[in-house]
Structure formats: structure tokens, C-alpha cells
Amino acid sequence: AHGDKEQRQRKSSTQSASSRNVEVRSLESSSIKEGIEGCIGNTPLVRIKSLSEETGCEILAKAEFLNGAGNSPKDRAASSIISMAEEQGLLRPNSGDVIYEGTVGSTGISLAAIARARGYNAHICMPSDQSTEKSSLLLHLGATVDRVPPASIIDPNHFVNRARTLAAAHTTSPTQPGRGFFADQFETAANWRAHFEGTGPEILAQAGGQLDAFVAGAGTGGTISGVARCLKGRLGRGGVRIVLADPQGSGLWNKIKYGVMFDVKEREGTRRRHQVDSIVEGIGLNRMTENFEAGRTLIDDAVRVTDEQAMAMAQWLVEKDGIFAGSSSAVNCVAATKVALELGPGHRIVTLLCDPGTRHLSKFWAKAGTVGNKTDTKLVDVLHTDGS
């Protein structure tokens, strides 16, 4: 009976559309999504035409900026973390419970949107040097936003420590209703599992199981670890290369290449960098996290990308493909292109477009500048751009 009704509904909507002489694709009723969280996942895999033509490889990007709640892969992690907390009784919808998180922005945006949809409040602690687009968006989503000065992870005022402390204080406060829940994206397994169960299997299905390499940056490490565990589990350890795309100033490149986070010069010096010294937001780390550790030994190689290369690639993607990408997406595309050139023609490389360029207008794109009427940039110039 339910099927009949569905068929009738589909028929009547087709009739009314055709009577208005409008051509409609036949849409399945399942294309109606259950709220904003229904718009998370199943993102398209997009062939980046210019990079594919130039390298003779197929460079495919998972369009994670099309995740519908917060426009980044962090929607998957946020949804998974909140669901896990509800299953464990740590969060109870519409109870006054507050989700606390330390984030450079994307995870906060995803958490804030999903929190609204499920009846929670969100309290987001983020470093004050991140683009204002993200903190403004958080305020519009009704989150409480703490912008804290950049600090070392051992400093109680580091954005992650601040969020953890506030969550604990909330729970024990006699005046605040509900509980505080610390989302803990850097350490919780619910993060990488979202990509192990979602992003990874989607890539395998969309690529028909045929891919030679997966290339991604790491902010928490959830994406690369979850996808790596899925792909290597299904294709075999040698069946696919996993390559980290790392911005300048991050310690992860060293960790993968040489087993230590910092290069010798830096370790011998007095300065231990706590900030990733790059204009790129969302990826790069100078400490180990459980989420990076979850897939670390599955990562075959790492590519270091300078800010200049990332900006040149971001411009290239606009100039050649009409893609207006965020900074971490540009880093991914530089690294994916380098991997393609290393592997040689005929290989298939999958990477991610993480978030839209609109989120980076005031910082990354302000520095990268406009493309204007350029049509003649050479890929070799993008890859060999060097700020020094």
C-alpha cells in the first residue's frame, strides 16, 4: 500500500510538471532528505579536468564542501560524535545540554548546525587568528564563540584545553542547566570511524574499486585515517597508496618521512612551534593525535606544500576549472598533482575538496588575489612556485 501511494505521488508530480511543459528528471522519493543531517555524505566524486589532462592521470576529488550542514568533511565527524554521545547517554536532546569543542572552525560550524537540529547549544573555542568568516558563521548559527589567542597545547588556554575545561565546569555547576559534553574531535574514535564507514566506502563505490592513490591533509587526522583503514582493508595494504598532503610548518610531514615530528635543526633550537606556520586553515599539526595515530602506519608517503603553491593552485582551479576552493583543498590538489606526476600517466588519484573558498575570503583569498582574465598559467609554474 505504501508503494502504491508513493507511485501515485510520483505520477501526479510528473503529470503536473509535464503539463507545465517542464522537463523533470524522474526523481526517486528517496531523494527527499531527513532534515539537514540527511544532506551529509554521498558527496559527488568530481573529475578535475585540467589536472587530469595535464598529468595524464585521472584526478578525482570528493566534493566534501557539498555536505549540507556545515559544508565540509567535518559534518560527518560532528554527526558521528553527537550520535555516539547520545548512544552513551552523554547527551540528551532538548535537555539544556551543551556541546563544547575546540576547533579551528569547520568542526564548530558542523557541530553548531547539528546541535541546533537536535536541540543542543554549542560553545565553540577557536584560535583568534582564524578567518572571521568562520567565527561570524558560528555566531549566526547561535553558538557561543570564544576566540582565544593562539597558545601551546600544554597551555590551559589553548583552544582545545579551554573547551575541555569549560565542559567539565558546566557539568558540575549548580547554576547551569544540563550537562557539558566535550566533543574531543582530535582524540575520539567517532571521528575517524565516520570516514571509515562513510567517506571511504563511498570513494570505493564511486570509483568502482579502482584507484591507485588517496591524497589528503590532516587537521585531526580523522579523514585520512578513516579512509586509509577502509581502502587498505578492502584493496590490500599494497593495493592503494595513501599520501599525506601537509602544509608548510606542520610537523606531520617529518613524522611520516623520518619518524619524528620536528626536523633536527628545530629540535636542537629552543623554539618548539605550537602553531602551524601557514596561511592554510584546517590542516597541519604539530602534535600527535589519536585520530592521526589511528591510520599513521598506513600512510605511505607525505608531500609538503608551501603557501605559495597552495595559492597558485587555488588560482589555477578558478582559472581552468571554475572551482573556487578553500585553502586545504588547494593543498590537497597540489599534493595530488605531484603524486600523479610521480606515478606517471594512466593512474587514478582521489583527493578531497574540503570547504568552499567563500570561507577564506578575508585571509587566504585576500592574499591569493583575483585571477582576472588569466588563461595561460602553466602547471609547472604552479608546482614550482616558491615564496622564498
Spatial separation of the C-alpha atoms in residues 312 and 328, rounded to whole Å: 13
In the block, cell 564507514 appears at 197
Cα separations in angstroms, 93 against 19, 84, 102, 112, 181 = 45, 13, 21, 14, 12
Q: Which three cell numbers stand for residue 97?
A: 545540554
Minimum distance of ligand PMP from residue 182's CB (angstroms): 16
Minimum distance of ligand PMP from residue 160's CB (angstroms): 12
Give the three-state DSSP class for 62: strand
Is 74 an annotated catalytic residue? yes
**Dihedral pair phi/psi, residue 116, rounded to 5°:** -60, -45
How many alpha carbons lie under 13 Å from residue 170 in its C-beta half-sphere?
A: 21
138/347 with CB nearer ligand PMP: 138
178/201 with CB nearer ligand PMP: 201
- Among residues 172, 151, 169, which one has the least CA distance to residue 160? 151
Minimum distance of ligand PMP from residue 105's CB (angstroms): 6
Q: What residues line the site for ligand PMP (CB under 6 A)?
A: 72-74, 104, 106, 217-223, 282-283, 326, 328, 354-355
97/356 with CB nearer ligand PMP: 356
Spatial separation of the C-alpha atoms in residues 283 and 327, rounded to whole Å: 9
Q: Is 36 exposed, middle or buried (0-12, 13-18, 19+ CB in 10 A)?
A: middle
Minimum distance of ligand PMP from residue 282's CB (angstroms): 3
Minimum distance of ligand PMP from residue 226's CB (angstroms): 8
Spatial separation of the C-alpha atoms in residues 7 and 122, rounded to whole Å: 41
Max CA distance (Å), the chain = 76
286/328 with CB nearer ligand PMP: 328
Cβ atoms 145, 102 nearer than 8 A: no
Which residue among 5, 33, 62, 74 is the active-site one?
74
Minimum distance of ligand PMP from residue 249's CB (angstroms): 15
Which residues are catalytic, by number? 74
